[in-house]
Amino acid sequence: MGQGKSQFTEEELQDYEDLTYFTKKEVLYAHQKFKALAPEKVGHNKNAKLPMAKILQYPELRVNPFRDRICKVFSSSNDGDCTFEDFLDMMSVFSDNAPKAVKAEHAFRIFDFDGDDMIGVSDLREVIERLCGPELKLSDSEIQQLVQNVLEEADLDDDGALSFAEFEHIIDKSSDFCHSFRIRL
Amino acid sequence: MEDDMEGIELKPASMRRTFTLRNNVARQAAVNFMPSRKVAHTGTLRSRRANSEHNALLEASMSDAPDAADKQADIIVREMEQHHQLMEDNPLSEELRREALRDLPQGLTMKRNVRAKLSASVSLRSKQRPISVFKRMKYRISFTWKKSRDSFRDFVFSIELWYESIRNIEGHLGSAVGSYFHLLRWLFGLNLLLSILLISFVVVPQALHTGGTNGTSGISFLDFISGTGALEDTPLLYGHYHDGDTGAGPLRYDMAFAYFFTMGCAYLLFFGVLCYRTADSYRRHFIEPAGGGGGGGGGGVRARLAAKLFCGWDFGVASPRAAALAARALAHEFRELLNEQNRKTEAASFWVRLGRRSTNVVITTIVLGLIFGVQYGLWLLLSVDTFTDHREIYISLIITAVAAVCPILLNFIVKLEFYEARTAFYVTLARTWLLDIGTLILLLVFWTRSDMPCWENRVGQEGYRLVMLDIPVSLLLLPAIEFIRGLMFNFNVVKTAPEFNIAYNSLTLIYNQSVLWFGMLFSPLLVVAVTIKFLLLFYVKRESALRACQTGKKVWRAAQAQTVLLMLVTLSLFATLFALGSLFLRSPSPHCGPFRRYASALGVLAEGALRLPERAGLRRALLFVSRPGAVAFALLALCVSVYIVRARSGAQQSMARLLRRMLQLQAKDKDFLLSAIEKVSNGEWLYSPKSEEYGADSHTWKYLHEVRKPSNAGYHFDVSRLSHSFLERPRSYAKENRPNSYQTDKQKSNEDGDTDSSFSWQGSSSYLNQTDAEKR
C-alpha cells in the first residue's frame, strides 16, 4: 500500500481501459479522486463500497440537483451506494469521450424518477422543481404550463409521456447537451 | 402513475392515454418484435436501447432474483450474437466487440460478465483457419494504430496544461466561462507550436549567421515598446533577415528558402487546422441540431423548452454559490419563455415590424458608416507628416484605445435595435471584428503604398506595438476594474457582482490573434510575444475570474458561441492570407529582407525552388495554367460544381422532409394498429364494439366503415383469388351488395364443404354487418 505505487495491476487497468472511456492514467486519477472521498476505507480495499452520503461529497455531485438519482442510476446495488467501479462508470459516462447516445441513455434514466421507462408528467414536474432550486419556487400553474408545453413540443406520439426515442430526439436537436452533461475528473 | 395523471388537467385524449400507459410494457414488447427492431444493426451497433428495454421487461417480471443479473447478461449476449460482424474471431470484430461492450448502458460487473460469455461463445463458433498475409498485415496495422492512439491520449492527459485550473473555474463559474479559458489555452498551444517552428527554422539560423553579439545594450523603454531604434536591426523584424546562404562548408542553408517555406507552411498549416476545427464545430453545433432537412426549422420539430429542461443544468458546476445562481437563472429563463409564449398570441402588426426592421437597417448603416469613418480618420492621421517624436506610438495608442472601447460602444448600440439576444450578440461580434480586421488591412495597405525604403519593417513594428500596447489594457486595466468592482460588491457598495464578460474577453483574444496573423510575416518574433502574453493572460484572468467575478445572470449557450468565435479566428486568418497574397507576394521592397534577390516573393518559389528560367516546359505549363482563361475556366467549373451540390442538397432536404412526414404517419399507423390488436386480444372487437364511443372522425370508425365496407372493390378483388376458407368472410357482406358473387361463392364452398376455419370470421363479420345495418 505504498503511497506512490498503484493499487492496481496492469491487467486490471487494461480491463478498465477496455470497458470505460478512460485511459489508464485517467483511471488512476479517478481512483485518486475516489480515494479522497474516504481515504482509509479505500486505502484498505481499493474497490470499497462507499455509502451515498460519501459519494455526494464529490464537489460536482454535492450541488447537483439530481445527485441522488445519479448515484442510484450508477450504483450496482441500486441503492445509491457506489463501489469504485460504479464511480468509474459514472465518471466515464460523464467524460468528454463518451458518445452522445450513451450519455443520453443515462440522462434518460436519471430523469426517469419513477423508473417506468418513460418520462411522464410527474417526472417532468420533478425535474423542473429540482432545476429551479428550493428557494425560488415557480407557482403550480406555471409548472403545469411548462409541463404541458414540453409535452406539446416533444411528445410526438401523444401518449402523455416521453419515451426514450422522443427524449433522444430532443437531445439530438440540442447543441448544448454534450457541453452540459459532463463532469470533468 | 394514474394517480399523478389525475392530478393535472389533461388533454382531450386523456382517456386513451391512461389506457395506453397501462399497457405500455406489453406494447413495448410487441414493438420490439417488429421487423424494424429486428434488423441487424450495421455500422453503429446501437443495440443498447433494445437491450435495456428487454431488461426493463425482465426486471418487471423477476425483480430481485439472485440470478437476475446472469439472465440479463444472457439476454444481452444473445442480442449481440445476432450481429455477425461482432462474432467473428479476428481482431477487427474483437475491436468492434470492445466498442459495443463499452457502449452498453450497464455497470462494469455486467459488462465483464457479458464479455466472458461473449468470448466463450466466439471461441466456440470460431473455425480455426489460417488468415492471409494481407489480412494479418491489415490487422496488425490497425492494432498498432489503435495502440498508438491510446498511448497518445494517455500522454496528452498527462501533459494537459492547466487541467485543474480550468476545472476549478468551470466548477465556480460554469462551463461557459470555462469555454473562454479553453479557447485561450488552445490559442496558446497553437502559438507555442508556431513559435517553436519559427524560432528553430528562421530565427536561430539567422542568429547563428549574424554571430550573436548584437548591440542590445542601448534599448530604451520606448524603443522596447515600439520596436524602433536598436530593435530595428534584430531578428524581431523582417528587414534584418539575410537573403543568401548561411552555414559553413558543404552544408548550406538558404535563408530566403527557409523564410518563405516556413512562413508558408505555418500559415497554410494553421489555416487548415482552423478550417477543419471550425467546420467540425459548425457541423456539430449548427447543422446537426437543425436536423437533416430542417432548413430553417420548417420541417424539424423544435423543442426549445424541452431542450432547456434536459440540457439546462451544467453538470460541471461544483460550488454552491454558482449552483444557486444557475438555478435562479434557469427559473428566470423558464418564466421568460412562458411569458414569451403567452405574449405570442398577439402578433406584432405589420407596421410595428416594419418600424423595427427599418430601425435595424438605419442603425446598421450608421454603425458601418462610423466604422469606415474611423478608418478614414486613421488613414488621414497616418498620412499627416508631423515631426513629433514617436508619432507612431501615438497612432498605435489610438488604435488600441479604439479596439478596447469600441466593443463596449457597439454592445451599447445593439441594445437600441430590435434583435433577439443571441442575434444581438452575433451582430456585435461581427461589427467588432469588422472594425479590427479593417484597421489591420488598412495599416497593411497604407504601408505598402508608402515609399518607405523598408515598409515591411513598419508593418512588423506596428503589429509589435499593438501587441505591446494592448498588454496594459488587457493585463492590468481590465482586471483592475473587475477587482475594484468585486471589492465594491463585497463591501456592499454596489448590488451586483461583476460578471465575467465572455464576449468581450474572447474578442480581445481574437483581436490579438488577428494582429499576430498580420504581423507574423514581417516580425517572426511577434509570435513569441503573443505567446508570452497569452500565458500571463491566463493567470491574470484566472485570478480575476475566481476572486472577483460571478456567473452571468443569463444562461449562456456555450456551444454555438464557441463556434462563432472560432469562425472569427479562421476568418481573420483568411483575410490575412488574402491581403498578404495580393499585397506582399508581388512587391516586397527591393533593398531589405530575405527576398531582396528576387523580383517578387513568389520568385523564391519560381526561380529558386523550381528553377523556372532553366526549365522551359514547366514554365510554359505554369504560364498556361495561370492564364486568365484557365483561371476563369476553373472558377466556372467550381461554380457549376457548387451549384450541383447545392441542388442535390436541396433535393435531399425535400426528400428528408417527405420521409419525416412519412415517419410520422407510420408512427400513427403503428399506434393505431397496436391499439386495434389490443382490442382484438382483449375481445372487445368481437363482443362489444361500442361504436358510439368513436366520433365520426376516429380512425377506428373510419376503418370499420370504409375499409371493411363490402363495396370496397379492391378488397373484393383480392378475396376472390384467395383460398376457399377465406372466401367465407366476404360472403356475409356480399349478401347485401353483390348477390351474384354470393351465389358463386356459396356454390363453391358447398362443393368443398370445408368451412370450419372460417366460423369465427364469419361470426365477427356478420356481427359487424348487423351493427352497420342498425346504423342505417
Write the residue in B154, B318, B558 that is nearest to A60 by C-beta.
Answer: B318
Res B635 pLDDT > 90: yes
Distance of alpha carbon B527 from alpha carbon B324, whole angstroms: 42
Q: Which of residues 234-273 of B touch A (CB under 8 A)?
A: none
A18: nearest CA in chain B?
B98
Write the residue in B13, B289, B310 that is nearest to A111 by C-beta.
Answer: B310
Q: Give the model's confidence band at B637: pLDDT under 50 very low, under 70 low, under 90 confident, else very high.
A: very high
Residues of B in contact with A175 (CB under 8 A): 284-286, 288-289, 557, 559-560
Write the residue in A105, A169, A177 that is nearest to B48 by C-beta.
Answer: A105
Q: Find the mean pLDDT for residues B320-326.
A: 82
Q: For cell 370445408, name the residue.
A: B754
User: Which range scores top for mean pLDDT: B77-91, B332-346, B428-442, B757-771?
Assistant: B428-442
Q: Give the model's confidence band at B387: pLDDT under 50 very low, under 70 low, under 90 confident, else very high.
A: low
Distance of alpha carbon B594 from alpha carbon B241, whole angstroms: 5
- Measured between CB atoms, does B150 come within 8 Å of chain A? yes
A162: nearest CA in chain B?
B306
Res A1 pLDDT > 70: no
Supply B194's cell numbers.
508556431
pLDDT for the residue B740: 47
Distance of alpha carbon B461 from alpha carbon B510, whole angstroms: 19
Look up residue B311 and give its amino acid.
Answer: C
Distance of alpha carbon B577 from alpha carbon B267, whole angstroms: 8
Res B493 pLDDT > 50: yes
| Test mutation, B72, B108, B302, chain A, max A CBs within 10 A | B108
Residues of B in contact with A161 (CB under 8 A): 21
Q: What is the DSSP letter of B319?
A: S
Residues of B in contact with A123 (CB under 8 A): none
Residues of A in contact with B338 (CB under 8 A): 142, 145-146, 149
B611 Rama class: left (phi>0) / alpha (psi -120 to 50) / beta: left
CB contact under 8 A, A176 and B558: yes
Of the two residues B338 and B433, the one the predictor is more confident about is: B433
Supply B650's cell numbers.
436541396
CB contact under 8 A, B338 and A142: yes
Of the two residues A70 and B685, the one the predictor is more confident about is: A70
Q: Find the mean pLDDT for residues B430-452.
A: 86
Strand partners, B306: none
pLDDT for the residue B360: 87
Scanning B689-758, the segments in alpha helix (DSSP H) are 699-702, 713-720, 724-737, 739-752
Write the residue in B1, B111, B175 that is nearest to A19 by C-beta.
Answer: B111
Q: Which of residues 306-345 of B touch A (CB under 8 A)?
A: 306-307, 309-320, 322-324, 327-328, 330-331, 334-335, 338, 341
Res B640 pLDDT > 60: yes
Q: Find the mean pLDDT for residues B207-221.
A: 65
pLDDT in tens, A109-150: 888 888 887 888 888 888 888 888 776 677 888 888 888 888
pLDDT for the residue B764: 44
Residue B716, C-beta contacts closer than 8 angstroms, at least 6 positions apart:
B710, B730, B738, B741
CB B717, CB B751: distance < 8 Å: no
Residues of B in contact with A17 (CB under 8 A): 150
How many helical (H) and strand (E) elements, i.e. helices and strands, does chain B have?
A: 34, 2
pLDDT in tens, B132-158: 788 778 878 887 888 888 888 878 877
| Nearest CA-CA partner of B201 in B133, B276, B253, B135 | B253
CB B96, CB B85: distance < 8 Å: yes
Backbone angles phi, psi at A96, to 5 degrees: -65, -30
pLDDT for the residue B744: 44
State the number of CA atoms in the 13 A half-sphere of B562 facing the CB: 26
- Measured between CB atoms, does B2 come within 8 Å of chain A? no
Q: Find the mean pLDDT for residues B468-480.
A: 87
CB contact under 8 A, B320 and A127: no
| Nearest CA-CA partner of A118 in B28, B105, B334, B672 | B28
How many helical (H) and strand (E) elements, i.e. helices and strands, does chain A have?
A: 12, 0
Residues of B in contact with A179 (CB under 8 A): 175, 179, 314, 558-559
Q: Give the model's confidence band at B733: pLDDT under 50 very low, under 70 low, under 90 confident, else very high.
A: very low
Res B639 pLDDT > 90: yes
Q: Which of residues 550-569 of B touch A (CB under 8 A)?
A: 557-560
- Measured between CB atoms, does B662 come within 8 Å of chain A? no
CB contact under 8 A, A116 and B1: yes
Residues of B in contact with A131 (CB under 8 A): 309, 312-313, 327, 330-331
CB contact under 8 A, B289 and A107: no
Distance of alpha carbon B678 from alpha carbon B684, whole angstroms: 9
A99: nearest CA in chain B?
B103
Chain B: nearest CA to A34, how far in angstroms?
16
Distance of alpha carbon B731 from alpha carbon B59, whole angstroms: 48
What is the ipTM score, two decimals? Answer: 0.85
Considering the entire predicted model, what is its pTM?
0.75
Chain B: nearest CA to A1, how far in angstroms?
23
Q: Hey, what long-range contacts does B329-332 have (CB within 8 A, 24 or more apart)?
A: B329/B551, B329/B552, B329/B553, B329/B554, B329/B555, B330/A131, B330/A132, B330/B555, B331/A131, B331/A132, B331/A133, B331/A136, B331/A138, B332/B553
Q: Give the model's confidence band at B344: pLDDT under 50 very low, under 70 low, under 90 confident, else very high.
A: low
CB contact under 8 A, A138 and B11: no
